[in-house]
Amino acid sequence: MVQYNPPIRDYNFLLHEVFNVIEMNQRLGYEGFDRDTIDMMIEEWADLMQTTWLPSNVDGDRIGSTFTNGKVTTPPSFKTAWNAAVEGGWFATVAKAEHGGLEAPLFLRNAMDEFAISSNMALSTIGALSLGVYELISEHAEQKLIDMYAEKVALGEWCGTMCLTEPHAGTDLGIINSKAEPQNDGSYKISGTKIFITFAEHDLSENIVHMVLAKLPNSPEGTHGISLFLVPKYLSQDGLLSEQVNGVTCSGIEEKMGLHGSPTCVLNFDESIGWLVGEENCGMKLMFEMMNRERLATGMMGIGLGEVAYQNSLQWCKERRQGRDLKGTKDMHESADSILVHPDVRRMLLKVKANNEGSRALGTWVGTLLDELKRGDSEGKVHAEALVSLLTPIIKAHATDLGCESTSLCIQVMGGAGYCTEYGVEQFYRDVRIAPIWEGTNGIQSLDLAGRKITKNFGKNLRHLMWPLLEFIEENRDDARMSKYTKPLYQNVKGLQQLTLLMISEGMGNPHFLAGSATDYTSYFGNTMLAFMWAKMAGVCIEAQKAGVQDDFYKAKLALADVFFNEILPDNIGLAAKVQSGHKHLMEYPEVLL
């Protein structure tokens, strides 16, 4: 049986000690969310996830969602788990009060997303998608649509989907074929086939609200000619469901490597009635807006599955005995020592733990920046926008790559048991593998970072990042206990600046150079950001110890910071060499010999 203890203490530390969210809440008009309220919400959500979502996870994998005669049936325990969260009003946590929401700060979603993902990633996807659909409707749809759909979707009574991908158009959405024909009453008839659509058909809610990308007649070529439409499964009148089906049919679901509980559907629209959301031909812009939140939520998948895999493999390792400590037998009364005496076992476990906790800190920071972006003053908004723009592709790509590496290491550290279904860890490895693919592949995230985000506004985004980083290093320069973190951090920040200049200068003349180096550049960037997070966390722990607080939590954090700076950050040396070596060896290899 899989175990999971939501990392509540770590979130308390991050929210209150590292990022001081209560000060931010007061400044941004979230006064109702004081420390007690935030902590209570996190604890209650954690409890709900442990008691209802976690037990259903294995059903998602073994029973899966099944397809018969156009209908998708989820495992029975999914309904119990989903309904428990809907009845508690949890999905509307960050929604507007007028739609039944609490208007809670957005950073709270990080903890909620992570606990949900660790407990049942397949089920968590529908909640994350529905939140994105709610945001699109409430921010960009006409009032009539807001009145009909926003509250139902906010509360999770109706679910939402994102319909972008078509059989011939995945990354390259500019070539989609789905069409929208304007009607005299202001609606549109949508026709086309979408594939790979998550939870496009299911039995968890009475209606499903699809956000569909399609092209209007005579629209411009490419992504500038795509519009966004709201297309419900059932048409509704004044928010009440009518049984009138809307020409939306599911013709099958995919067999997949993992995430069996989350149905991946082929969805056909046959003159389905829909309504434009936002302006004509602005569909991609709106989708990208929604994706800031979705990409952070996807990054949380790497962290959530890395965490639950770590907890379960650690539990197993604590009981496993093999071999003897190389420095001499540890446990004379047993035939073998615990495998935790072996440096290589510790290397694997601690690497996972350090990457999980560093990525969690980065995700939390991005969560708070989304609040600054939403409610900050004009200066705060500019700063937050620059940072969110840079850090979103990093958290999406780096945290999900690390999630794959972490779940793989968690199998490895368990030996053969890790490969066996009985212990549950192999499911996390299979489930997390989608995260680097969807919401824009990690390759595309890296191109976005290297090709657009760092060059945008003549490098202004990067300057917004360098200020707090260099300021932090300067502030801590004279602290003897901090120098083992700030010195390597400084070297890597300088390295990042040099690599960025190289990417821009070489990339301008030769886009293949930039594209060939983008993934390694993103990993270098990601590691440097985690180094910043680890140095920040170490600073808080050192200050607490100086103030006389004796707490093993701080001791463990500082020891883990040492793991990060000695075991993980040095990877940047190799990554820098790869960025510098560019693209020639890749592009000169003859295609016919591939």
- Stretch of residues binding ligand FAD (CB under 6 A), selected from 381-389, 402-410, 432-440, 477-485: 432-440
Minimum CB distance to ligand FAD smaller for 29 or for 511? 511
Helix axes 108-140, 283-319, angle to 10 degrees: 160
Q: Which of 196, 275, 525, 564 binds ligand FAD (CB under 6 A)?
A: 196
Secondary structure of the chain: what % helix, strand, coil (to 5)? 65, 15, 25
Minimum CB distance to ligand FAD smaller for 53 or for 438? 438
Q: Which of 264, 272, 298, 445 binds ligand FAD (CB under 6 A)?
A: 264
117 binds ligand FAD (CB under 6 A): no
Q: Which of 444, 470, 504, 558 binds ligand FAD (CB under 6 A)?
A: 444
User: Considering the complex, what minimum distance in angstroms separates the CB of residue 199 from ligand FAD?
Assistant: 7
- CA distance linking residue 504 with residue 498, whole number of Å: 10
User: Considering the complex, what minimum distance in angstroms separates the CB of residue 440 from ligand FAD?
Assistant: 6
| Of 277, 278, 201, residue with least CA distance to 246 | 201
Minimum CB distance to ligand FAD smaller for 447 or for 540? 447
Q: Which of 63, 241, 314, 437 binds ligand FAD (CB under 6 A)?
A: 437
Q: Which residue has the tokens 């208007």?
A: 103
CB 444 within 8 A of CB 298: no
Minimum CB distance to ligand FAD smaller for 62 or for 546? 62
Q: Which residue has the tokens 């760092």?
A: 454
- Stretch of residues binding ligand FAD (CB under 6 A), selected from 83-91, 132-140, 322-330, 440-448: 440-448
Catalytic residue among 17, 439, 475, 567: 439
197-236 residues in contact with ligand FAD (CB under 6 A) are 197-198
CA angle 435, 437, 438 (to 5 degrees): 75
Total residues found in the chain within this entry: 594
List Cα–Cα distances, 544 to 156, 319, 468, 471, in angstroms: 42, 33, 22, 21
Minimum CB distance to ligand FAD smaller for 171 or for 322? 171
List Cα–Cα distances, 104 to 93, 264, 297, 371, in angstroms: 6, 31, 17, 10
530 binds ligand FAD (CB under 6 A): no
Query: What residues have CB less than 8 Å from 529, skipping those under 6 apart?
Result: 362, 391, 394, 398
- CA distance linking residue 117 with residue 114, whole number of Å: 5
CB neighbours of residue 58 within 10 Å: 18
162 binds ligand FAD (CB under 6 A): yes
Interface with ligand FAD (CB under 6 A), residue total 20
Look up residue 194 and give its DSSP letter.
E
Pairing between strand 264-277 and 248-253?
A: antiparallel
CB 134 within 8 A of CB 95: yes
Two tokens, residue 564 = 């990060």
CA angle 348, 353, 357 (to 5 degrees): 155
User: Considering the complex, what minimum distance in angstroms separates the CB of residue 381 from ligand FAD?
Assistant: 29
User: Considering the complex, what minimum distance in angstroms separates the CB of residue 166 from ligand FAD?
Assistant: 8
Minimum CB distance to ligand FAD smaller for 258 or for 367? 258
User: Considering the complex, what minimum distance in angstroms separates the CB of residue 256 from ligand FAD?
Assistant: 6
Q: Which residue is nearest to ligand FAD (CB)?
A: 170
Minimum CB distance to ligand FAD smaller for 81 or for 259? 259
Q: Which of 18, 164, 449, 530 binds ligand FAD (CB under 6 A)?
A: 164
Terminal Cα distance for the chain, rounded: 44
CB 296 within 8 A of CB 400: no
In three-state secondary structure terms, 352 is helix
- Stretch of residues binding ligand FAD (CB under 6 A), selected from 176-184, 256-264, 331-339, 566-574: 256-264
- Stretch of residues binding ligand FAD (CB under 6 A), selected from 73-81, 191-199, 245-253, 458-466: 191-199
Q: Which of 19, 438, 485, 521 binds ligand FAD (CB under 6 A)?
A: 438
Per-residue contact string for residues 286-325; x = within reach of ligand FAD by CB under 6 A: ----------------------------------------
Look up residue 279 and give its DSSP letter.
S
User: Considering the complex, what minimum distance in angstroms separates the CB of residue 103 from ligand FAD?
Assistant: 27
Look up residue 357 and give its DSSP letter.
H
Integer-rounded Cα Rg, in Å, for the chain is 24
434 binds ligand FAD (CB under 6 A): yes
- Stretch of residues binding ligand FAD (CB under 6 A), selected from 227-235, 283-291, 393-401, 433-441: 433-441
Pairing between strand 159-163 and 208-215?
A: parallel
- Stretch of residues binding ligand FAD (CB under 6 A), selected from 7-15, 57-65, 179-187, 194-202: 194-202
The dihedral region occupied by 415, where left means phi > 0, alpha psi between -120 and 50, and beta the remainder, is left
- Stretch of residues binding ligand FAD (CB under 6 A), selected from 176-184, 272-280, 332-340, 430-438: 430-438
> Residue type at 282?
C
174 binds ligand FAD (CB under 6 A): no
With 0-12 / 13-18 / 19 or more C-beta atoms within 10 angstroms meaning exposed / middle / buried, residue 291 is buried
Q: Catalytic residue at 439?
A: yes
Minimum CB distance to ligand FAD smaller for 65 or for 356? 65
- CA distance linking residue 538 with residue 476, whole number of Å: 11
Q: Which of 24, 41, 145, 163 binds ligand FAD (CB under 6 A)?
A: 163
171 binds ligand FAD (CB under 6 A): yes
Provide the binding-site residues for ligand FAD, judged by CB under 6 A: 161-165, 170-171, 196-198, 256, 259, 264, 434, 437-438, 441, 443-444, 447
Active site residues: 439
